[in-house]
Amino acid sequence: MAEPTRYDLFIVGGGPGGYTAALLGAKKGLRVGLAEGSHLGGTCTNTGCIPAKSYIESINLYTQIQSAQRFGLQAQSSPPGLLTLNRRKTRIVGRLVKGIEYLLNKAGVTVYHGHAELAGKNTVRVADEEIRCTSLIIASGSQPKRPAMFDLPGIWTSEDIFEVTEAPSSLIIIGGGAIGMEMAHVFGNLGTEVTVIEALERVLATEDEDVSRELARLYRKIRFLTSARIQALDASSGFTLTVESPGGTRTVTGQHLLLCIGRQPRIPAGVPELGVSLGTSGSIEVDGFMQTDVPGVYAVGDVTGQHMYAYVAAKEAEIAIDHMTGGSRSMDYSFIPSVVFTSPEVASVGKRLSEMDPSVTRKGTFPVSALGRARTMDACDGFAHVYCTPAGKIERITIMAPHATELISWATLAVSLGLGLEEFLKPHYPHPTLAELLKEAAEDALGLSVHKP
């Protein structure tokens, strides 16, 4: 029998956590192998961030064309067909997957296309091949939650939705979090009659209350049922739900149903036998260096159940590689920005409002409608809030605005560096820009905004 191949580092999963770890490990001189059971790029590239944003960009351009006259133009477009959106997405995804493949190849990472099973802390099996490694990173990601009640054919999750090629006439979306709201944005603008059912008292419940309120107001054509409990589901002809909400019990029907109620970690075979501790949600428990309680075995990304974002997975990969190559950086979850690609976009960073004492927190706010740049873009909905301590240290920034998902990086830098309002306002903010929204909100916290209506 052939000797098993040996690696300094073997990685299970080729998503943002896994492939980032592989590339960084190779840069540090490690001999790296990686197994991917489906497509390189993982959920993010194939069925998550990229497909969703590809659809959203098409939808946003379509809605802009609809308002062309307001820009003095004569452009027209019929609603895009889902098949066209799907083809565009497939091209973009294909290119990105090839890019990841190219980078791994160039870095000298050996990629195994197949499902990996762990046969010990230093032994992995992919198909018939046995592989030995000094360190192991589990980066197997997550999959959509699908409670037994929804385990029926024809119920879509994010794993299926980007393969659908014809928009349904009506769609029930269960879950009004980031993914549910992004999908409501897409299908609502494709002409589908959308109902969003949310168990909590508002959609985007982790964002500021006025963000949820404003979004529900702006998405007039979408029906929102909040504080809603699903009592029964009938899938005999389309989908009929019996839903209890504060307004009483009602029946909700839809041609299709999309489940967006969160994701659960995907644990490779052999992990429990290693003695790695799992948390109550089934996620792999790690310390600040992303190491499990089995030395030399690390876990990064969604499989750890923490902040399920691609950029968090990549940061965790950095920390794991740093630790296994002798570094001492640890993971800090204090300043993870959140991003939602609705229209307008929503983003926030810093402490949760529930962690701040409202009686002492200073708040500055500024409406998008008062920005010159927003007027030129004909995109005037939204606002920014800057929250700070009585001494002026910025603790949280909330943005609901065009390109909020870009502006939040500047806000994240400020909040994570613990900047005070004066420091935040020290640089010049070019005019006319959307970044002035943050400047004006910070000035308002000091009582100095000259443009606030």
- Which residues, numbered 240-299, are part of the site for ligand FAD (CB under 6 A)? 266, 268
32 interacts with ligand FAD by CB under 6 A: no
Q: What is the dihedral of CA 279, 284, 288, 291, to 10 degrees?
A: 140
Q: Which one among 17, 175, 305, 402 touches ligand FAD, defined by CB under 6 A?
A: 17
CA–CA distances in Å: residue 349 to residues 213, 335, 413: 19, 6, 10
Q: Which one among 100, 116, 137, 155 touches ligand FAD, defined by CB under 6 A?
A: 116
Residue 75 CB, shortest distance to ligand FAD, in Å, is 28
Catalytic pick among 113, 115, 185, 431: 431
38 interacts with ligand FAD by CB under 6 A: yes
Q: Which one among 35, 137, 321, 442 touches ligand FAD, defined by CB under 6 A?
A: 35
Binding-site size for ligand FAD (CB under 6 A) equals: 36
Nearest to 191 by CA among 165, 171, 212: 171
Between 35 and 184, name the residue whose CB sits nearer to ligand FAD: 35
Pairing, β 345-350 against β 193-197: unpaired
Stretch that binds ligand FAD, among 16-24, 93-101, 356-364, 422-430 (CB under 6 A): 16-24
Q: Clarify whether 431 is annotated catalytic.
A: yes
Q: 279 phi and psi, to 5 degrees?
A: -80, 180
Between 350 and 367, name the residue whose CB sits nearer to ligand FAD: 350
Q: At what angle do helices 404-416 and 436-445 cross, to 10 degrees?
A: 50
Q: Which one among 11, 13, 86, 403 touches ligand FAD, defined by CB under 6 A?
A: 13
Burial of 343 (0-12, 13-18, 19+ CB in 10 A): buried
Between 80 and 268, name the residue whose CB sits nearer to ligand FAD: 268
Read off the tokens for 169: 């006439």
Instruction: Kindly give the residue spans of alpha helices, DSSP state H, lying in 219-293.
Output: 271-274
Between 43 and 245, name the residue whose CB sits nearer to ligand FAD: 43
Residue 38 CB, shortest distance to ligand FAD, in Å, is 4
Rounded CA separation 405/398 (Å) = 11
Pairing, β 394-401 against β 248-254: unpaired
Binding mask 339-378 for ligand FAD (x = CB under 6 A): x---------------------------------------
Binding mask 146-175 for ligand FAD (x = CB under 6 A): ------------x-----------------
Rounded CA separation 27/342 (Å) = 37
Count of other CB atoms within 10 angstroms of residue 79: 14
Residue 306 CB, shortest distance to ligand FAD, in Å, is 10
Rounded CA separation 336/355 (Å) = 15
- Which residues, numbered 299-338, are part of the site for ligand FAD (CB under 6 A)? 301-303, 308-311, 313
Half-sphere exposure of 185 (CA within 13 A, CB side): 29
By CB under 6 A, name the binding residues for ligand FAD.
12-18, 35-38, 42-44, 48-49, 52, 115-116, 139-142, 158, 179, 266, 268, 301-303, 308-311, 313, 339
**Residues classed as catalytic:** 431
